[in-house]
Amino acid sequence: MMPLAVFLALVLALAPRQDPDVPILDAHNHVMPGLDPDEMVRELDRHGICRIVLMATGTPFDKRAGLTLAAFDKHPDRVILFVGLNGIRRFTPEILKSIDGLLASGKFRGMGELTLRHYPFEREALDGSTVRAGDYTLAADSPEVLEVFALAEKHGVVLTVHMETTAETIPAFRRALAKHPKAKVIWAHQTPIKTLDGAKEEHARKADPKQIAELLDRTPSLYADLSVGYETLFLKSDDRKLPEAWRTLYESRADRFVVGLDMPFLQGWKTDGYRLRLEVLREWLKQIEPGARKKIAHENAEKLFGG
């Protein structure tokens, strides 16, 4: 008869590389007018999501904090509050002062997305309606944006940045990170579908994981997330397989990645958007070795945002 230890070793060796689904902390998501917090939490429960970062969108800046706080008041154990920055084209002294005040309340763990370079798009949602996103350009090292980095540093909170990779954006981002080395920044949307130097299908899957690795290595306070932004437009079934270079990136810098589902439109929440996005994310996570997978799925975010 086979000794038990040998039998167990054999079972472990033959076991599939995948763990069962790990809990996920959704570190990149949005709340907007019309999204009922109870409905949102039911969706999280259905999909094994422990907590969720909420950045308010779709309403003027001064109405945003109210949306996130309402969700937090109902579900404080599930919601992580961020100050909503999507689509702010100018950080006026009034807006900066207001962000400073919100962060000083101690309730918000971060702010975002700071839309430094955001490509416009228009697409049909699952319910047949049309969703649109704007065209935003704001240099990372412009004085007003440096003020936002400074606020992240001052309050010790996370700043989530949406910035497409182009010849202009990366050098400005490097300069901003160098000026504020203690600002904890999450560079959103670092996935295999990510575009390089353009917003069309031909630019998709062209980003270089080595460039992301280099930026992470040079900036200890920089993180990145595996949320798929507008590149969902280009998603194909082949994309469920994680390319080797991206798997290596995630596994070799496993302390520096978090995940998110990024649903800025109400239509996504009212249809099957969450499940469809999560399917791809879980497929990718399954291909990452178990220790790194747990870090990326929830442990890193728990450290970043606290209990």
Per-residue binding string, Zn ion, 102-131, x by CB under 5 A, is -----------x------------------
Residue 106 to residue 70: CA distance in whole angstroms? 16
The distance of closest approach from Cβ of residue 115 to Zn ion in the complex, given in angstroms and rounded to an integer, is: 7
Phi, psi of 49 (to 5 degrees): -100, 120
Choice between 109 and 162, CB closer to Zn ion: 162
Q: Collect all residues with Cβ–Cβ distance below 8 Å to 57 and sequence separation of at least 6.
A: 30, 31, 32, 64, 84, 86, 87, 264
Rounded to a whole number of angstroms, the minimum distance from the CB of residue 73 to Zn ion is 26
Name the segment binding Zn ion (CB under 5 A); options: 37-45, 53-61, 226-234, 253-261: 226-234
The amino acid at residue 28 is H
For residues 39-52, one letter each, b for 16 or more C-beta atoms within 10 angstroms of the residue's C-beta and e for the rest, the string is ebbebbeebebbbb
Identify which of residues 227 and 287 has a Cβ nearer to Zn ion in the complex: 227
Instruction: Compare residues 188 and 292 and give the one whose CB is closer to Zn ion.
Output: 188
3-class secondary-structure state, position 253 = coil
Q: Residue with CB nearest Zn ion?
A: 162
User: What string marks each residue from 176 to 195 as x (binds Zn ion by CB under 5 A) or -?
Assistant: ------------x-------
Give the torsion through C-alpha atoms of 110, 116, 122, 126, to 10 deg. -20
The tally of CA atoms less than 13 A away on the side-chain side of residue 49 is: 29
Could you tell me how many residues of this chain bind Zn ion (CB under 5 A)? 4
Cα distance between residue 87 and residue 257, in whole Å: 24
Q: What share of the chain is helix, strand, coil (3-state, %, to 5)?
A: 45, 20, 35
Q: Which stretch binds Zn ion (CB under 5 A): 214-222, 223-231, 280-288, 289-297?
A: 223-231
To Zn ion, the closest distance from the beta carbon of 263 in angstroms equals 11
Q: Does 229 bind Zn ion (CB under 5 A)?
A: yes
**Interface characters, 54-93, with Zn ion (x: CB under 5 A):** ----------------------------------------
- Binding site residues, Zn ion, CB under 5 A: 113, 162, 188, 229
